[in-house]
Each structure stands twice: as C-alpha cells, then as structure tokens.
Amino acid sequence: MALWGGRFEENVAEATQEFGASLPVDRTLYKQDIAGSKAHAAMLAAQGIISADDEQAIRAGLEGIEADIDAGRFVFDINDEDIHMAIESELTRRIGEAGARLHTGRSRNDQVATDTRLAAKALARDLMEANLRLRRTIVDAARAAGDTVLPGMTHLQHAQPVRFAHHLLAYAWMFARDFDRVHAAFDAADANPLGAAALAGTSYPLDRQMTARALGFSRVIENSLDAVSDRDFLLDLEYACAVMAVHLSRLAEEIVLWSSQEFGFITLSDAFSTGSSIMPQKKNPDFAELIRGKTGRVEGDLVQLLTTLKGLPLAYNKDMQEDKEGALDAAHTLLASLGVMTGMVGTWTVNAPRMREVMHRGHLAATDVADYLAKRGMPFREAHAVVGRLVLEAEKAGVDIAELPFEAFQAASELFEPDITAALDIDGVVAARTTQGGTAPEAVAAQLALVEQGLQESADQLAALSPVVAMGQGA
C-alpha cells in the first residue's frame, strides 16, 4: 500500500500505478528532494516540533540514501510513485519512526514545488555559464576577424558590405539578451514554497525563513496557494530556452549556408563535421543542422507547459506533474546545443579571400552611389531611380555596378565626377558607415568594447547568484 494508503481498501490498479508515477522523471531531482527534507527536518527540530535525536537520525539517513543514489546503488521502485515517496519510504525502512516524523507540517505539494524550484535554479545557472562561454567564443572570433568583410544580406540577397566582426557581434548581443532572460527565470524560481504544506499553510509553528536560508532561496512565497500552484518560473525558464534556441538555430542556419560550396565562407573543423556512408567526398555540417532541428523540441516544451497550465483551478492539480519533463528536456537540450555551438565556432576556419571574392557580385555599392548623388543635391528618390537604371545596365552587360566605365555614370547624371570610384570601393563603403552601431572600423571597435563590458557584467551577475543545489548525476 502507498504511503497515503490509510483510507483505501485496495491498491491502485497495476496499470494506473505506472501511469500515475512521475518517478522516471523526478528521480533526477533526488539531490533537491534530499536538501529540502534536511532543511525541513532541521527547522522542525529548531522549532521543537521533532526531537534533536530524530533530526540527527533523519539527516544521517538522508545522507546515506544520497550517497547510495550518487553511487548508482539505489534501486528505485515504480510503486513509490515519485521521488518524494521513494526517499521517504526508504528513510523509514532505514531509521524507523524518526523517518515517519519527517513529513510533519509538509505536503508533497510544497515539497515538489521546492524541488522543482531548486532544480530550475541549478539549470538556469548552468545555462548562464554555457551562454557566457559561447559569447566569449563569439567575441574571440569577432576579434580574430579583423578587417574581413562579407556581403551583408537582406532576403538572402547581397545588400551592403559589412565587417564579419560586425555580423558576429550581432549574435553576441542576441545571446547577451538570452543571458538576461535566463537570469530573470533564475530570480523567478528563487523563492521558498516550503511551509505552504498542501495549500493553506499549517498549524505547526514552522519557520519558513529558516528553510529559505538553508536552501539558498532569497525570499519566501507570501501566499500558500500561489506557492503550490505557481509554475511561472518554469514558463520563464522554458521561454528563455526557446528564444535562445531560436538564436542558436539562426546561427546554425548561417553555418550550414556558409560551409556550403555555394558560399564557401567557412570550413568547419573535422571534429564538428560528419561524412557520408556512400559519398566519399562529403563533409556535412550535421551538428549545425541538429542544433537547428532541436529548436523544435525546445519550443514544443514551452507550448506543452503553457497548455497544461491554462485550465487549472487553484491549487495543486495532478496535471502539474507534467511540468518537469519538458522543462528538464528544454534545459538539457539547450545546454548540449550551446556546448556544441561553442566548439563549432571556436574551431572553424574563416575563408576571408572567398568572402572578398563575392563582394563583386550583387552591386553592393549601389546605395552609396545613390547617396553620392543625393549628397550633391539630387533628391534621394530620383537618385535611387538613376542608380536603378545603372544597375539594369550592368546586369545586361553581365558586370557589377563597380565595373561600369566612368562614361556610363556620366551619361546617367552630370553630377557624377571621377571621384565616384571612391564611392564604389568596398572598403570605402564599409568605412563610411560610422553611425553608432554601424559597420565602420571605429564603430565596430566601440561596439566590441561594449560587448566585452557586457561579458564582464554577466560574469559578475553569475558570481552573485544565490546558492544552488546542483543536479545529481546518480539517478
């Protein structure tokens, strides 16, 4: 009979035992569950609710169980339903009556909320660390890019030239925002639900501040109903994961394109490529594709939890047991993707001459030619039309606008003078974009300094996080 079996005459049907169990998922939260129980027992003793001897026996018993799970020696039984029951029933088997006093003034409802919040904090911290490693690698790649330029694109068509460093730093900003989103999710999880008991609080004189301190929570949740039914912190974490996964996926897509024969902008290291079982020449960007592919899973995890929560009345409902699998999956999937992306970016080879070679296609200087006319008094709209005709002429001749003879420019407008060649020079075009946030060398250097400052701020925030209970590896 289950630990709650007192008012039942029969066991649950075999089939429902497995259906109702969350043990296959929540067993990975054993360290959080044990930390929660130790904190609860210490507080019960401090408040005179259980004896000091009982507390000592509980603590020693829990530490023994933890060591066994860490070592892979613990045999889990699906009949225990979840990690809370598995550990409590084993504790009572080991230490007897003291174990049976542990659940005083507690419910699995505040217990699972505690475990899940502790796990969310641990995963959020891991994600912040992995995010920071990727950002450092991207910044290193941007620094290494030097003066390299490539065709900036809109609609995947050549648009205007940009520095490769500038392009990479766009990703650094995206991932910096992701760090902040995960940090916010960490803060959302960083509150103690313990002491809410089943839903209404308890008649025991519990010290909720004491368990908060012991578990590293920065505050106590003020409403017991909210404490057991709030899963916003998981939504926050999964949303942060989903957005970061989208950013990884966009970068992965560029890597797939850039490493193709058509682009040839980068070569992935062998360590981050795969071959074909039939085509001997192939070197495929499988891992970039897989990062792109895994994004669908992470997005699905978020949508699943939103949907699971939407119709639930207060307070705890068993539906909420479905909260952990997706959240763990999202975080673990993203952690793996971040690690692989960091390795891929850190080891690729950039083919700068190839980037330079394709700059002569797609009339990348066209906007600057129109600007040349506008700066000499022609209304921009008119200048746009004049240059459009020049582009058409170049297209018909099968050349780039920069390759047209000076006579062609003269014929198009008398405002063109021989110095138009400067406006057509790709490095000149890049150097002219000095706007704050633009692609000129000094603008990119200023941006790089800001990005590095952001890395330092993130590192400081990481160091200042409240303590976490790291995920166990034994279950």
Nearer to ligand ARG, 80 or 254 (CB): 80
Amino acid identity, residue 195? G
Only one of the segments 150-158, 268-276, 296-304, 318-326 lies at the binding site for ligand ARG (rule: CB under 6 A); that segment is: 318-326
Rounded to the nearest whole angstrom, what is the least distance from the CB of residue 224 to ligand ARG in the complex? 15
Least separation in angstroms between residue 362's CB and ligand ARG is: 56
Please tell me the distance from the alpha carbon of residue 128 to that of residue 123, in angstroms, as a whole number. 9
Q: Does 112 bind ligand ARG (CB under 6 A)?
A: yes
| Of residues 22 and 458, the one with the C-beta less far from ligand ARG | 22
Among residue numbers 337 through 356, which ones bind ligand ARG (CB under 6 A)?
Answer: none
In whole angstroms, the minimum distance from the beta carbon of 109 to ligand ARG comes to: 5
Q: Which of 472, 454, 402 is nearest to 161 (CA)?
A: 402
**Which one, 86 or 387, has the nearer CB to ligand ARG?**
86
Q: In this chain, which stretch among 108-116, 288-296, 396-404, 432-440 interacts with ligand ARG, using CB under 6 A?
A: 108-116
Interaction mask 9-28, ligand ARG, x per CB under 6 A: -------------x---x--
With respect to ligand ARG, which residue has the nearer C-beta, 42 or 328?
Answer: 328
Total number of residues that touch ligand ARG (CB under 6 A):
10
320 binds ligand ARG (CB under 6 A): yes
Minimum CB distance to ligand ARG smaller for 31 or for 108: 108
> Please, what is the minimum distance in Å from the beta carbon of residue 230 to ligand ARG?
13
Measured between alpha carbons, how far is residue 161 from residues 12, 138, 148 in Å?
Answer: 68, 20, 10
- Region binding ligand ARG by CB under 6 A among candidate stretches 209-217, 231-239, 281-289, 312-320: 312-320
**Active site amino acids:** 155, 276
Q: Which stretch binds ligand ARG (CB under 6 A): 28-36, 104-112, 144-152, 286-294?
A: 104-112
Which backbone phi and psi does 283 adopt, to 5 degrees?
A: -135, 105
Return the sign of the alpha-carbon dihedral for residues 66, 70, 75, 81. Answer: positive
Which residues have C-beta within 8 Å of that of residue 63, sequence separation ≥ 6?
A: 34
Token pair of 248 as six digits: 């990884």
Closest distance to ligand ARG from the beta carbon of 105 (Å): 16
426 neighbors 149 (Cβ within 8 angstroms): yes
Q: Where are the beta strands (DSSP E) in 268-396?
A: 349-350
Distance separating alpha carbons of residues 166 and 451, to the nearest angstrom:
11
CB 158 within 8 A of CB 363: yes
Q: Is 113 or 182 the residue whose CB approaches ligand ARG more closely?
A: 113
Map residue 158 onto helix, strand or coil.
Answer: strand
> Which CB sits closer to ligand ARG, 119 or 291?
119
Q: Find the part of the chain contacting ligand ARG (CB under 6 A) among 45-53, 69-77, 244-252, 313-321.
A: 313-321
Instruction: Tell me how far, at minimum, the Cβ of 81 lies from ligand ARG, in Å.
Output: 7
Q: Contact letters (x/-) for ligand ARG, 72-101, by CB under 6 A?
A: ----------x-------------------
Burial of 80 (0-12, 13-18, 19+ CB in 10 A): buried
Between the two ends of the chain, the Cα-to-Cα distance in Å is 24
User: Min. distance of Cβ 20 from ligand ARG in angstroms?
Assistant: 8
Whether residue 70 contacts residue 63, with contact meaning beta carbons closer than 8 Å, is answered with no
As a whole number of angstroms, the distance between CA 299 and CA 77 comes to 32
Q: Are 260 and 156 in contact (CB under 8 A)?
A: no
Written as six digits, the tokens of 448 are: 């790089």
Q: How many CB atoms lie within 10 A of CB 156?
A: 7
Q: Which of 37, 109, 114, 447 binds ligand ARG (CB under 6 A)?
A: 109
Cβ count near 400 (within 10 Å): 20
Q: CB-based burial of residue 35 (10 Å sphere; 0-12 exposed, 13-18 middle, 19+ buried)?
A: buried
Choice between 312 and 408, CB closer to ligand ARG: 312
How does DSSP classify residue 285? -
Kindly tell me which of 22 and 333 has the beta carbon lying closer to ligand ARG.
22
Smallest separation (angstroms) from ligand ARG to the CB of 466: 24
Asked if 475 contacts 27 with a C-beta cutoff of 8 angstroms, the reply is: yes
Yes or no: say if 160 and 429 are a contact pair by the CB < 8 Å rule: yes
Binding of ligand ARG by 401 (CB under 6 A): no
Least separation in angstroms between residue 144's CB and ligand ARG is 47
Among 318, 407, 435, 456, binds ligand ARG (CB under 6 A): 318
Q: CA-to-CA distance for 124 and 189, rounded, in angstroms?
A: 9
Contact residues toward ligand ARG (CB under 6 A) are 22, 26, 82, 108-109, 112, 316, 318, 320-321
